[in-house]
């Protein structure tokens, strides 16, 4: 291993992995999944030296265990249950679940296979490792971190002085970060935003549980697309056009009214709204936007709440799709007074330098031996190895939308 260890704690994980992990442990412990890495940048090439470093870093990650102090921190989160904490006390990552080769156009292929309980927990650390290895080995890292600091300072000053007004926001950049150093720098910087009387925006937390613990911030995150894909499409008996119903029902079974931000675009928001009727709309505290036009989406959600007799001002619209402060400012001003608005901002806070960030993902491609897919509100964000299954899923959704009243 040529670089210093990149992942140093099993809390270096997005909060929604623990939220989903607990529900997986209690309801789907025998589900098996395959995850596949993809680099969407056409001009990026991972060298053999980088791939070896990624292997070494993932091996090092697999040697880490939770400390009692970390487990106690998780145990004090309102919706985390003692049975899940006891499971995490025994849990350990398995390097045997990884297959890492150079057999890909970008020079890096990664697949993980095993129980959903295990493989779900690999996605975020793996992406964080790939990012940091790439930027430290492909560029002069010292130059990158200096440009990051300059941009970070400029963002902070503009937010503090009120150039942008975005209400409440969180940092969501772990999987996309330039480095652990850069993410910690951003979280530390914005945690002081609330100290100033000048800022009209409030920094409420980070998805990185380790940094939330370290900085006494709120760990932020509920569910990801994998939750809807696997609960809805991983059971061979389910009609996948009802994936959202199965996912929301299982979530309420686990959490009741707690920890309730629903993700809308796994099989299109329009299909989601067929299942997000009065009970779910009442129980969930809000919804998260991750694809498509944010203004159109927000107006659609407000209309939906109003049609059910729910005051949209009692619900949160959480925006998390490719945001910067300028875009967030426009969204916030549009919805001010119409609903609660919050933002989860990733790459812009954790990897904004003089060079373009990587566009890398790691997605669930199989669950219990069968294909799963995401059909988001825009093309290009889905990922599935079997085009026939994507066609089948689209036809299921279309039939439901055309025939169900």
Mean pLDDT by 10 residues, the chain (405 residues): 96 98 98 97 96 98 98 97 98 98 97 98 98 98 98 95 93 97 97 79 96 96 96 95 98 96 97 98 97 97 98 98 96 97 97 97 96 87 86 96 89
What per-residue confidence (pLDDT) applies to 83? Answer: 98
Global pTM reads: 0.96
Q: Which residues pair with 32 in a beta bridge?
A: 115
Say how far apart CA 247 and CA 265 lie, in whole Å.
13
What per-residue confidence (pLDDT) applies to 199? Answer: 74
Q: Which residues pair with 318 in a beta bridge?
A: 288, 342
Nearby residues of 338 by Cβ (< 8 Å), 6 or more positions away: 298, 302, 312, 313
| Structure letter (DSSP) for residue 14 | B
DSSP strand pairing (286-289 vs 316-319): parallel
Are 229 and 123 in contact, with CB atoms under 8 Å apart? no
Are 219 and 180 in contact, with CB atoms under 8 Å apart? no
Are 132 and 68 in contact, with CB atoms under 8 Å apart? no
Here the tokens at position 95 are 């390097």
Q: Cα–chain-centroid distance for residue 75? A: 22
What per-residue confidence (pLDDT) applies to 385? Answer: 86
Of all helices (H) and strands (E), which one includes residue 314? Answer: none
Top CATH class, 163-350: alpha beta
Q: 């030296």: which residue's tokens?
A: 49
Nearby residues of 342 by Cβ (< 8 Å), 6 or more positions away: 167, 168, 169, 170, 204, 286, 316, 317, 318, 319
DSSP strand pairing (98-101 vs 286-289): unpaired
DSSP strand pairing (340-345 vs 316-319): parallel
Provide DSSP, 40-83: --TT----HHHHHHHHHHHHHHTT----HHHHHHHHTSTT--HH
Say how far apart CA 258 and CA 263 lie, in whole Å.
15
């Amino acid at each position: 291993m040529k670089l210093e260890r990149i992942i140093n704690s099993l809390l270096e994980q997005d909060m929604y992995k623990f939220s989903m992990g607990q529900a997986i442990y209690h309801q789907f412990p025998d589900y098996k999944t395959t995850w596949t890495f993809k680099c969407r940048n056409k001009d990026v090439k991972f060298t053999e030296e980088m791939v070896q470093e990624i292997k070494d870093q993932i091996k090092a990650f697999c040697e880490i265990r939770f400390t009692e102090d970390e487990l106690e921190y998780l145990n004090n989160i309102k919706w985390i249950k003692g049975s899940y904490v006891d499971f995490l006390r025994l849990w350990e990552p398995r390097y045997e679940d990884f297959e890492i080769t150079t057999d890909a156009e970008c020079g890096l292929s990664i697949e993980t296979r095993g129980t959903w309980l295990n493989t779900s927990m690999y996605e975020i650390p793996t992406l964080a490792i790939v990012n940091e290895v790439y930027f430290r080995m492909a560029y002069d890292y010292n130059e990158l971190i200096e440009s990051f600091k300059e941009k970070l300072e400029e963002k902070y000053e503009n937010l503090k002085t009120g150039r942008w007004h975005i209400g409440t926001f969180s940092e969501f950049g772990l999987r996309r970060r330039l480095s652990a150093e850069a993410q910690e720098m951003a979280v530390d910087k914005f945690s002081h935003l609330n100290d100033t009387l000048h800022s009209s925006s409030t920094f409420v937390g980070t998805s990185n549980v380790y940094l939330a613990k370290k900085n006494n911030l709120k760990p932020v995150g509920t569910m990801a697309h994998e939750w809807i894909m696997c609960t809805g499409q991983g059971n061979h008996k389910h009609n996948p056009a009802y994936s959202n119903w199965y996912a929301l029902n299982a979530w309420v079974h686990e959490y009741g009214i707690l920890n309730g931000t629903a993700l809308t675009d796994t099989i299109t928001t329009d299909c989601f709204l067929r299942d997000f009727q009065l009970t779910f709309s009442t129980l969930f505290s809000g919804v998260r936007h991750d694809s498509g036009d944010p203004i159109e989406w927000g107006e659609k959600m407000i209309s939906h709440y109003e049609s059910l007799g729910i005051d949209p001002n009692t619900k949160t619209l959480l925006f998390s799709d490719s945001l910067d402060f300028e875009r967030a400012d426009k969204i916030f001003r549009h919805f001010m007074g119409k609903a609660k608005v919050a933002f989860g901002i990733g790459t812009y806070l954790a990897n904004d330098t003089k060079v373009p960030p990587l566009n890398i993902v790691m997605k669930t491609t199989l669950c219990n031996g069968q294909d799963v897919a995401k059909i988001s509100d825009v093309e290009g964000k889905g990922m599935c190895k079997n085009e026939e299954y994507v066609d089948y899923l689209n036809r299921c959704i279309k039939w439901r939308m055309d025939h169900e009243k």
